[in-house]
């Protein structure tokens, strides 16, 4: 039996601001052995990330107070170490991968500068050795060693490249412990699988222990040895991965497992067509020139043909860059395109500005990020009433009543309407975004990754809300996602996009049970883990 690399004993952490003090970690204890992969699971706000930051001593001392407890790493309590000693451990023996690489990588430094900084701090000052070290870690992480990659700034890399770069920086010193905080949330399904396989490979080859923080239960089930379930800063249950998923003891653990998406809709019997897309093409200029024949173009959509019936949900899936969001923006008339989009019997591209403006109330969108899609300067009442004020002649009293009804419709209290977005959780913000989208009683709502940033419990609640609203108002949805589990739960039909083209299109059950294209088969394999 291998030794404990990490041992947490009765750890409690309080959060303090000007007005109050709140206990966010409550007397937790856990062990991690050498080479073990531990999954840390729970809803948003359960304390997962705070635990990871505490292990790496990254909590702000001005805001967080350790009330009691110990964190032993290699037999030493790291909470008692001085900052100068911790600097020798962070990034060297204990490393961390954060959820969003764009926020954790320095935007004004090249990848080479950032990885060399770690090498110089922990490994060697001899610059002649840098190339060999970087080549080795790049090979492990599936990154090409070339000047283009090395001299790129984070924004110049793809999502997969950024995540691999973050991993490369984290493991260049061969740490004993790697903490990965939601490392796949921002990635499409094929990249998710690649990153997880990479982390698993690094753990096995280097004997590295791994703490995998995630709300994705299928991910945890397939890549961990042990699981710790957290709720409200406390540990609800700890056991082997097999026992957690096959014999859960806690009612909360059972609830989490039951939140995984399942088929939620019946076959749509309403066959009246609402949307028809004919030969849709969209391209962007990547290299401009005074001469048209010297311009270079990127084809974002190529020969797209689709139909959507009233009351029907069309799921659109594909990797990042496949054209999913471009399709949404084209339907919303926010991009120039070639082809025909017929909505409710009218060709949208032929409409003048005034007619199109009047028609826009019939198609709305819910964006991926509920944090950035709601104006922080406006109250919820102002956000919900804005569209109503433009398209209707309701009095102020009528607007207040309608906003109250909208909030109740999405499961929020009407008294909340004078609060601001920052006062709500991610799930509540997404409910507000949905309320805004249905405020004008549209015929079509486009959902662009509306659940990707949410934990499993909130995700299930939002999906239930989406389905119930559709049934009540006979809405049509275009549901864009990289998660086939979610798409298959609420979609009548699925369209699979790859590199701007449709590779497969049909009834959801037919696509899932009998995928024809190799690409669709790979997407399904990447997402729907076997039991």
**pLDDT tens per residue, range 367-426:** 877 777 899 999 999 999 999 999 999 999 999 999 999 999 999 999 999 999 988 877
Q: What is the structure's pLDDT at 527? A: 65
Q: What is the structure's pLDDT at 453? A: 67
Q: What angle do CA 159, 368, 51 make, to 5 degrees?
A: 70
Q: Is the pLDDT of residue 8 over 60?
A: yes
Average pLDDT score over residue span 300-328: 91
Q: Is the pLDDT of residue 1 over 50?
A: no
Average pLDDT score over residue span 298-306: 92
Taking residue 242's Cβ as centre, other Cβ atoms within 10 Å add up to: 12
Given a contact cutoff of 8 angstroms between Cβ atoms, the answer to whether 211 and 40 are in contact is yes
Span of 1-5, 81-85, 140-144 with lowest mean pLDDT:
1-5
Taking phi first (over 0 means left), then psi (-120 to 50 degrees means alpha), and beta for anything else, what does residue 229 get? beta
What per-residue string of b and e applies to 145-171 under the rule 16 or more CB within 10 Å gives b?
eeeebbebebeebebbbbbbbbbbbbb
Q: Is the pLDDT of residue 139 over 70?
A: yes
Q: Is the pLDDT of residue 290 over 60?
A: no
Q: What is the structure's pLDDT at 378? A: 94
Q: Which of 193, 211, 215, 194 is nearest to 203 (CA)?
A: 211
Q: What is the structure's pLDDT at 285? A: 76
Span of 53-67, 98-112, 350-364, 379-393 with lowest mean pLDDT:
53-67
Given a contact cutoff of 8 angstroms between Cβ atoms, the answer to whether 490 and 460 are in contact is no
**pLDDT tens per residue, range 441-453:** 999 999 998 887 6
**Exposure of 38 by Cβ count < 10 A (0-12 exposed, 13-18 middle, 19+ buried)?**
buried
Q: What is the structure's pLDDT at 381? A: 96
Instruction: Round to whole Å and give the CA distance between 9 and 250.
Output: 21
How does the average pLDDT of the chain come out, rounded?
88
Q: Residue 514 — pLDDT band, cuts 50, 70, 90?
A: very high
Q: Residue 38 — pLDDT band, cuts 50, 70, 90?
A: very high
Instruction: Round to whole Å and give the CA distance between 407 and 383.
Output: 12
User: What is the side-by-side order of every strand in the sheet holding 296-309?
Assistant: 296-309, 273-287, 338-343, 346-347
The helix-helix angle for 189-206 and 159-171 (nearest 10°) equals 10
Token pair recorded at residue 213:
């923080």
Instruction: Round to whole Å and give the CA distance between 85 and 37.
Output: 26
Strands in 18-116 per DSSP E: 21-33, 37-41, 64-73, 76-77, 94-97
**pLDDT tens per residue, range 317-336:** 988 778 898 999 999 999 99
Instruction: Round to whole Å and give the CA distance between 263 and 486.
Output: 9
Regarding predicted confidence, which is higher, 20 or 40? 40
Which structural domains are found in the chain, ordered by start? 4-258 (3.40.50.300), 273-371+442-527 (3.40.50.300)
Q: Is the pLDDT of residue 337 over 80?
A: yes
**pLDDT tens per residue, range 232-283:** 999 999 999 999 999 999 999 998 888 877 777 777 666 899 999 999 999 8
Q: Is the pLDDT of residue 531 over 50?
A: no
Based on its alpha-carbon atoms, the radius of gyration of the chain, rounded to whole angstroms, reads 25
Strands in 261-386 per DSSP E: 273-287, 296-309, 313-317, 338-343, 346-347, 363-366
Instruction: Round to whole Å and give the CA distance between 418 and 248.
Output: 42
Average pLDDT score over residue span 465-481: 93
Instruction: Round to whole Å and give the CA distance between 270 and 272.
Output: 6
Q: What is the structure's pLDDT at 215? A: 81
Instruction: Round to whole Å and give the CA distance between 499 and 478.
Output: 19
Regarding predicted confidence, which is higher, 39 or 4? 39
Q: Is the pLDDT of residue 294 over 70?
A: no
Average pLDDT score over residue span 68-75: 92
């Amino acid at each position: 039996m291998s030794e404990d690399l990490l041992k947490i004993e009765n750890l409690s952490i309080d959060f303090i601001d000007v007005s109050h003090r709140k206990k966010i970690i409550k007397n937790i204890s856990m062990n991690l052995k050498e080479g073990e992969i531990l999954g840390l699971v729970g809803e948003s706000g359960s304390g997962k990330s705070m635990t990871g930051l505490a292990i790496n001593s990254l909590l702000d001392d001005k805001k967080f107070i350790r009330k009691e407890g110990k964190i032993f790493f290699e037999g030493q309590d790291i909470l008692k170490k001085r900052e100068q000693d911790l600097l020798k451990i962070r990034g060297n023996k204990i490393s961390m991968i954060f959820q969003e690489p764009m926020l954790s990588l320095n935007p004004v430094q090249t990848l080479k500068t950032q990885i060399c900084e770690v090498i110089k701090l922990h490994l060697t000052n001899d610059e002649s050795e840098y190339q060999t070290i970087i080549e080795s870690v790049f090979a492990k992480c599936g990154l090409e060693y070339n000047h283009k990659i090395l001299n790129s700034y984070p924004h110049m890399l793809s999502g997969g490249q950024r995540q691999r770069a973050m991993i490369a920086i984290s493991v260049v010193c061969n740490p004993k412990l790697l903490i990965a905080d939601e490392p796949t949330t921002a990635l499409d399904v094929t990249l998710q699988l690649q990153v997880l396989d990479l982390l698993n490979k690094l753990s096995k080859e280097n004997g590295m222990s791994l703490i995998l923080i995630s709300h994705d239960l299928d991910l945890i089930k397939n890549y961990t040895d042990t699981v710790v379930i957290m709720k409200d800063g406390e540990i609800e249950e700890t056991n082997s991965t097999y026992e957690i998923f096959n014999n859960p003891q806690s009612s909360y653990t059972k609830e989490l497992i039951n939140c995984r998406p399942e088929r939620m809709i019946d076959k749509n019997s309403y066959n009246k067509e609402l949307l028809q897309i004919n030969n849709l093409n969209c391209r962007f200029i990547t290299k401009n020139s005074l001469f048209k024949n010297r311009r270079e173009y990127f084809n974002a959509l190529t020969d797209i043909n689709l139909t959507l019936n009233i009351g029907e949900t069309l799921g659109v899936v594909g990797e990042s860059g496949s054209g999913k969001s471009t399709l949404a923006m084209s339907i919303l008339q926010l991009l120039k395109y070639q082809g025909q989009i017929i909505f409710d019997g009218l060709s949208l591209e032929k409409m003048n500005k005034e007619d199109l403006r009047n028609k826009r109330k019939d198609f709305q969108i819910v964006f991926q990020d509920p944090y950035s899609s709601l104006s922080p300067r406006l109250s919820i009442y102002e956000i919900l009433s804005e569209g109503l004020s433009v398209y209707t002649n309701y009095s102020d009293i009528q607007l207040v009543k309608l906003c109250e009804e909208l909030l109740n419709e999405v499961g929020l209290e009407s008294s909340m309407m004078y609060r601001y977005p920052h006062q709500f959780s991610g799930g509540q913000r997404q409910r507000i975004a949905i309320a805004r989208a249905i405020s004008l009683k549209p015929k079509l709502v486009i959902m662009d990754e509306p659940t990707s940033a949410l934990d499993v419990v909130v995700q299930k609640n939002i999906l239930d809300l989406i389905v119930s609203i559709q049934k009540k108002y006979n809405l049509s949805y275009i549901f864009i996602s990289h998660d086939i589990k979610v798409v298959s739960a609420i979609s009548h039909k699925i369209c699979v996009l790859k590199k701007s083209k449709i590779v497969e299109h049909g009834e959801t059950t037919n696509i899932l049970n009998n995928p024809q294209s190799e690409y669709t088969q790979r997407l399904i394999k990447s997402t729907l883990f076997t039991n």
